[in-house]
Copies of this chain bind each other. A is one copy, B any other.
Amino acid sequence: MSETRMYRISVGRRALSEYLASIAIIFNQGAKTVVIRGNGENIYRAVNLYNILKSRLGDGIRLLNVRIGSERRGFRYVPYIEIEVERVGS
């Protein structure tokens, strides 16, 4: 698997444990980085997901970048966050 491909997890209303499982699978398949994305009220959940991931994997992951902004959804703008996480080590 190419390490330059970008994997994105969009956090919605499912249980955080499901997103954690998805990230674990992506990393186990050899991906180097994952982007955790959340829109609107899910921004809070995206940060929470990162914190849980960090508490479990510790030095096994590194926070690369956090982007925030807003995107158009029909007639209104919705804020988003993108948290880029790198897997460290093998």
* Also in contact, A44 and B40, with CB within 8 A (given A66-B66, A67-B66, A68-B83): yes
Nearest B residue to A71 via CB reads B51
Nearest B residue to A50 via CB reads B68
What are 27 of the A-B contact pairs (CB < 8 Å)? A40-B44, A41-B41, A41-B44, A43-B43, A43-B44, A43-B47, A44-B44, A44-B79, A47-B68, A47-B79, A47-B80, A47-B81, A48-B79, A50-B68, A51-B68, A51-B69, A51-B70, A51-B77, A51-B79, A55-B70, A63-B68, A66-B66, A66-B67, A66-B68, A66-B81, A68-B83, A81-B81
Q: What copy number does this chain have within its complex? A: 2
Q: How many residues of A contact B (CB 8 A)?
A: 20
